[in-house]
Amino acid sequence: MRFFLIDRVRELHIGERIVALKNVTMESAFFDQHFPGMPILPGVLGMEALAQSSGYLISRSVWEKEQRQVLPLFTGVSRARFVRAIRPGDQLVIEARLQVLERSLATTQASGRVDGELALRAELSFALKEYRGEPEYAAVVQQGEMLRRIIEGPWDARMEE
């Protein structure tokens, strides 16, 4: 099972920030058990949505600035806060801001809002693995490329700044 927890990138400012969307729908299999009669998005999946958005910002920023293909490996969460439940029918608006971007590591501050109200936030850290065609990482790169095609849609002026 793949968890693509970003449906669309609304804004992408290379080296700065990303705004992404996740439409939370009842079709997701985890709602069957989390929780019957009161479905809420598991907190760990909300955090994963923040991490996917952050990772996408990091990988695109490194590519655009240095023409290096990196795999951002999620290594840590600090100052995590879950403020409100995220339920089917909600649209989670994710914003991640790049704090540190060095050769082999990156950090972001990320948050998710529903109807303008803070739902979750955290500081996230990543190790950057440079991809040089190693076969053991080919599936990860392929999944990242699939994600890019799904979430970017057509480029427009909002995303090229």
Catalytic residues: 34
Which string of DSSP letters, residue by residue, matches 129-149? EEPSS-GGGHHHHHHHHHHHH
The angle subtended at Cα 100 by Cα 95 and Cα 104, nearest 5°, is 115
Q: Find the distance separating the first CA and the last CA of the chain, reported in whole Å.
A: 34
Containing 64, the helix (H) or strand (E) segment is helix 43-66
The answer to whether the CB of 65 falls within 8 A of the CB of 123 is no
Query: Count H helices, E strands: the chain?
Result: 2, 6
Residue 100 C-alpha from the chain's centroid: 16
The answer to whether the CB of 156 falls within 8 A of the CB of 83 is no
